[in-house]
Amino acid sequence: MIDIKFLRENPDVVKENIKKKFQDHKLVLVDEVIDLDKKNREAQLKGDNLRAERKQISNEIGNLMKQGRKEEAEEVKKKVQKINEELEENEKLEAKYSEEIKQRMMKIPNIMDASVPIGEDDSKNVEVQRFGEATVPNYEIPHHADIIAKFNGLDKESAGRTSGVGFYYLIGDVARLHEAMLACARDYMINNGFTYAIPPFMIRSDVVTGVMSFEEMDAMMYKIEGEDLYLIGTSEHSMIGKFKEQIIKKDELPINMTSYSPCFRKEIGSHGIEERGLYRLHQFEKQEMIVICEPEESMDWYNKMWKLTVDLFRSWNVPVRQLECCSGDLADLKVKSCDVEAWSPRQQKFFEVGSCSTLGDAQARRLGIRVKGEKGNYFPHTLNNTVVASPRGLIAVLENNYNEDGSVTVPEILRPYMGGLEKILPKK
């Protein structure tokens, strides 16, 4: 949510930003907010004047009572009663205008960074750079579900009976490799100065709407029936929500934390749920990172964060690339975002394994997160980035470490988490 003062003073800039995001249907919201804001400020001024008048009359009543002129005082009290009634109606009007402004402001996209490429959808995202050589071996790489089947490591049939499509059982060495990656990611982030946390896996609706747009919420979140609780789609939501309505001391910044959680998503949309593999699911696990920092430091943190993911995947022998998200693929709260994509030697293309975003002060403004500064309170900037999400990250490790004999070499950095195991060998 952008600053209403900025919108009031720069409506054309806000409209141009909306156009660059190809959301022309939202242009009318800017004019509606400006009109409602004018009415609201007029109502506030009227309220201030009524309260000042009431205070003046109250003083007059006090003087009359001191002089023993009770009858005159009683007559003047009727004026106060009338003002109170008028104030009550005016306050209702202020509340109405404020709520209508808020509802519209929550739908107006954040101002993007000038470096964001302009494009309608993810097909216009721009490759920035590659890390590691994207090679294809001279032997066939099977589908990851077939690789895992050789180790008796996946049971989606049983998961279908217990939970339906989009769920899975990971078993044996494959399950162990999956958890080794998460444990390695945890320690890697701790060693890079991030504080480790395990957050709540359910959050209230006011936190959900504080960290994401209504459209994202409807497409992603599972609601707990009969309660004001949602299953998290990613732990950054509960991690940023941790600071809701808090005033942070300036010397406590930056706050950089890394969190583990299971994640739950509807995955509604054109991609759908994969029947066979582990690429798109209702449930997965993730190591996440979040940063709350000074506004002028957010872009430096943004670049540090996505590079951490790149370096981790490279330590697992996975070539990756950084892909800049274009304007049409940028969620409304985001100022700038990029994906980290892993190389698939089977498909001979890259696929997303992580996403890094800076959201400016949008989340802080929505959640009431402020910093106590020398010249008053202000909103910090918030950022988030995927360290690793698995099983998607697991697919990348399996394909890029698959051997011609059907075994998978365990990356050296993961071996301590696998009891020293150097290779996963086929069971059949």
Tell me whether residue 240 is in a domain. yes
89 and 136 co-located in one domain: no
Contacts of 215 (CB under 8 A, 6+ apart): 332
Q: At what angle do helices 27-66 and 11-20 cross, to 10 degrees?
A: 140
Average pLDDT over every residue of 213-242: 89
297 and 199 co-located in one domain: yes
100 and 126 co-located in one domain: no
78 and 140 co-located in one domain: no
Tens of pLDDT, residues 229-267 = 999 999 999 999 999 999 999 999 999 999 999 999 987
53 and 8 co-located in one domain: yes
Tell me whether residue 172 is in a domain. yes
N- to C-terminal Cα separation, the chain: 55
Query: Comparing 295 with 53, which gets the higher pLDDT?
Result: 295
Tell me whether residue 113 is in a domain. no
Query: Comparing 278 with 76, which gets the higher pLDDT?
Result: 278
Tell me whether residue 344 is in a domain. yes
331 and 194 co-located in one domain: yes
Give me the CATH number covering residue 395: 3.30.930.10
pLDDT band at 428 (very low <50, low <70, confident <90, very high): low
Tell me whether residue 170 is in a domain. yes
Res 216 pLDDT > 90: no
How far apart CA 206 and CA 189 sit, in angstroms, is 29
Res 119 pLDDT > 80: yes
Averaged pLDDT score across all residues of the chain: 93
Domain boundary among 76, 105, 134: 105
Contacts of 150 (CB under 8 A, 6+ apart): 406, 426, 427, 428
419 to 141, 347, 412, 415, 416: CA distances (angstroms): 26, 31, 12, 6, 5
Tens of pLDDT, residues 3-30 = 999 999 999 999 999 999 999 999 999 9
Residue 125 near residue 329, CB atoms below 8 Å: yes
Determine the pLDDT at residue 361: 96
Cis peptide bond upstream of 109, omega within 30: no
Counting Cβ atoms within 10 Å, is residue 275 exposed (0-12), middle (13-18) or buried (19+)?
exposed
52 and 194 co-located in one domain: no
55 and 177 co-located in one domain: no
Domain boundary among 57, 80, 105: 105
Determine the pLDDT at residue 20: 97
The encoded tokens of residue 320 equal: 């990756």
pLDDT band at 1 (very low <50, low <70, confident <90, very high): confident
Predicted TM-score (pTM) of the model is 0.89
Which residue type occupies 1?
M
Res 402 pLDDT > 70: yes
Domain boundary among 57, 77, 105: 105
Res 283 pLDDT > 70: yes
pLDDT band at 274 (very low <50, low <70, confident <90, very high): low
Average pLDDT over every residue of 288-295: 98
Tell me whether residue 415 is in a domain. yes
Res 333 pLDDT > 50: yes
Tens of pLDDT, residues 345-364 = 999 999 999 999 999 999 99
How far apart CA 377 and CA 419 sit, in angstroms, is 50
16 and 126 co-located in one domain: no
How many domains does the chain contain in total? 2
- What residue has token string 């049983």? 158
Tell me whether residue 242 is in a domain. yes
Determine the pLDDT at residue 127: 96
Give me the CATH number covering residue 15: 1.10.287.40
Residue 411 near residue 177, CB atoms below 8 Å: no
Which of 101-105, 280-284, 334-338, 409-413 has the weakest average pLDDT? 280-284
253 and 224 co-located in one domain: yes
Tens of pLDDT, residues 168-197 = 999 999 999 999 999 999 999 999 999 999
Average pLDDT over every residue of 363-389: 95
Which of these, 218, 244, 220, lies nearest to 232 by C-alpha position?
A: 220
246 and 275 co-located in one domain: yes
Determine the pLDDT at residue 269: 46
What is the percentage of the chain residues whose pLDDT exceeds 70? 98
Tell me whether residue 112 is in a domain. no
Determine the pLDDT at residue 275: 60
Which of these, 117, 107, 104, lies nearest to 23 by C-alpha position?
A: 107
How far apart CA 231 and CA 208 sit, in angstroms, is 10
**Which domain covers residue 82, as residue numbers?**
4-105
Res 54 pLDDT > 60: yes
393 and 279 co-located in one domain: yes
